[in-house]
Amino acid sequence: MQRITIICVGKLKERFYTEAAAEYQKRLQRHCKLEILELPEQRLPEDPSPAQIEQALRREADAIRGKLPAGAALVALCIEGKTMSSEALANQIGRWAGSGVSHLVFLIGGSVGLHPSLKEQAALRLSMSPMTFPHHLARVMLLEQIYRAYQILEGSRYHK
């Protein structure tokens, strides 16, 4: 069974996000071993300077690197990443599984994103859309797309 770790900067607070995430976590139990790690988001002033943003992103990247398992394929969610259809994501997950990659790690940055070094380290930079979404919503969307990918791979009727 494939292992999937989602490393998120920031915690889900709103009930509607936590309930939606919990539903997909429950659905994914039969497809993969899922772990979600929440790391604290660095606090920034109201109007941060580029140097303050860089410092915050570097600290968050250090915390993320401390949680990265060896040998896992890393997927960084970022707006400049590659957009993929649900079928293409499913095929990529299937290719990784077929080539012996048993652990996937998805990274969701905080409100100012991910440090460029993490993006460079990723096997795939993935964009959910050219639109900007709150990182809490991105987590729910990612969970749904991972669930959908497994449904596509097994040929279920979920994906129409």
H, E, C per residue of the chain: CEEEEEEEECCCCCHHHHHHHHHHHHHHCCCEEEEEEEECCCCCCCCCCHHHHHHHHHHHHHHHHCCCCCCCEEEEEEEEEEECCHHHHHHHHHHHHHCCCCEEEEEECECCECCHHHHHHCCEEEECCCCCCCHHHHHHHHHHHHHHHHHHHHCCCCCC
pLDDT at 133: 85
pLDDT at 134: 87
Specify the CATH number for the domain of residue 122. Answer: 3.40.1280.10
Domain assignment present for residue 159? The answer is no
| Residue spans of the chain under pLDDT 50 | none
Between 135-154 and 86-98, two packed helices, what is the crossing angle to 10 degrees?
70
Domain assignment present for residue 116? The answer is yes
Average per-residue pLDDT in the chain? 95
User: Domain of 42?
Assistant: 2-154
**What is the percent of the chain where pLDDT is above 90?**
91
pLDDT at 132: 85
Instruction: Work out how many domains the chain is built from and give that number.
Output: 1
Domain assignment present for residue 67? The answer is yes
- Its pTM surpasses 0.75: yes
Contact 77, 134 (CB under 8 A): no
